[in-house]
């Protein structure tokens, strides 16, 4: 079975501004899928390094979709915990709106998170716990805290602006996204990769103002234009404090929409690892803006987010068809998805 995705014009809008999103999250649906890999994505001649980074993240994460995300937390090679949640994202007037609902383990079920992107790419984040029955604002200082015991942070799940970074391009690489050129075969014999042209473009981003990380190194695969690796460094440390790496072999889709099925986030020289999987992804032409509100965190916190999005979007479309709350048409048209 294969999935054919046809994009007519551009079916979502965003305001032109440098930013990135880590995950996030997220990628399509409940079928066993085999999609055609993209033939290649070339950068525009006048595209800035910051715009290249933005496009690389957008291609993986920033399009209207609902995703199931599974985290497997490992310590010393052993599984120390698991987290599961559903994650919906939509661009409203070019800014990301995100809602998450935990589905496992059982003691986290009903908890939720709402993220609304504001000016200059800064997101406002709220966390909801049924026991408290009121959304609690997560401060800027808390966004780099561990996300429920994993190696991700809250900041990794929202969008970040590159406006306040100095971004420069580094020498391209013919090797793997982490710079490793040597591989070992089944017999334990090492060999060196041979490549006639660079496979990866590398960029460095340094914050203009202070932050927890002094610099980031971003690696983008040329053939797909997708993010391959993100390394985050603390001041004075030659080794990355945190590394996010996309499993490029797991990519599905083509062009501006790619679905990463697997990623890893590592810390402490690989001693701490969180494996990220996206087993279910549904790409949406549009998600109703009403899905992203504090009320949705409090009401029906354990209900199916996929069904909620479909129900609210169908209701919004019906109102628009009846002339109720009609808004001007956007440049995005539709997505045709057919399994065959």
pLDDT in tens, 302-325: 679 999 999 999 998 888 887 654
The better pLDDT of the pair 3, 91 is held by 91
Q: Is the pLDDT at 184 greater than 70, yes or no?
A: no
88 — pLDDT class (breaks 50, 70, 90): very high
Whole-number pLDDT of residue 277: 98
Transcribe 228-249 into DSSP letters: EEEEEE-TT-SS-SEEEEE-GG
pLDDT tens-place string over residues 103-118: 999 999 989 999 998 8
With beta carbons less than 8 A apart as the criterion, state whether 47 and 220 touch: no
Least confident of 28-37, 109-118, 248-257, 278-287: 28-37
- d(C-alpha 246, C-alpha 263), whole Å: 4
| CATH class of the 3-181+195-339 domain in this structure | mainly beta
Q: Which of 108, 109, 70 is nearest to 87 (CA)?
A: 70
- d(C-alpha 293, C-alpha 286), whole Å: 16
Q: What is the pTM of this model?
A: 0.78
Q: Is the pLDDT at 332 greater than 50, yes or no?
A: no
- d(C-alpha 312, C-alpha 333), whole Å: 19
Please give the mean pLDDT across all residues of the chain. Answer: 79
């Amino acid at each position: 079975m294969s999935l054919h995705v046809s994009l007519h014009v551009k079916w979502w809008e965003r305001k032109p501004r440098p930013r990135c999103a880590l995950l996030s999250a997220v990628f399509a649906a409940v079928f066993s899928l085999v999609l055609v890999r993209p033939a290649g994505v070339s950068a525009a001649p006048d595209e800035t390094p910051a715009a290249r980074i933005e496009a690389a993240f957008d291609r993986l994460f920033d399009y209207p979709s609902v995703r199931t995300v599974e985290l497997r937390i490992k310590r010393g090679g052993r599984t120390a915990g698991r987290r599961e949640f559903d994650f919906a994202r939509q661009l409203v007037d070019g800014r990301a709106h995100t809602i998450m609902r935990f589905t496992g383990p059982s003691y986290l079920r009903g908890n939720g998170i709402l993220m609304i992107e504001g000016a200059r790419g800064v997101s406002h984040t709220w966390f909801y716990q049924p026991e408290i029955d009121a959304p609690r604002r997560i401060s800027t200082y808390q966004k780099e805290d561990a996300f429920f015991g994993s190696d991700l942070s809250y900041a990794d799940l929202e969008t970040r602006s590159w406006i306040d970074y100095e971004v420069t391009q580094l020498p391209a690489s013919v090797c793997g996204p982490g710079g490793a050129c040597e591989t070992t075969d089944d017999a334990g014999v090492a060999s060196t990769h041979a490549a006639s042209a660079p496979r990866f473009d590398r960029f460095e981003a340094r914050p203009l103002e202070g932050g927890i990380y002094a610099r980031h190194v971003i690696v983008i695969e040329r053939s797909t234009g997708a993010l391959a690796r993100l390394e985050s460094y603390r001041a004075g440390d030659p080794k990355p404090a945190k590394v996010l790496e996309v499993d490029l072999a797991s990519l599905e889709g083509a062009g501006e929409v790619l679905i990463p099925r697997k990623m890893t986030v590592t810390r402490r020289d690989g001693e701490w690892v969180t494996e990220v999987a996206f087993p279910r992804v549904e790409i949406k032409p549009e998600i109703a803006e009403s899905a992203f509100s504090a009320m949705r965190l409090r009401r029906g916190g354990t209900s199916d987010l996929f069904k909620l999005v479909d129900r609210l979007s169908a209701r919004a479309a019906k109102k628009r068809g009846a002339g109720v709350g009609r808004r001007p048409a956007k440049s995005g048209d539709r997505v045709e998805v057919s399994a065959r």
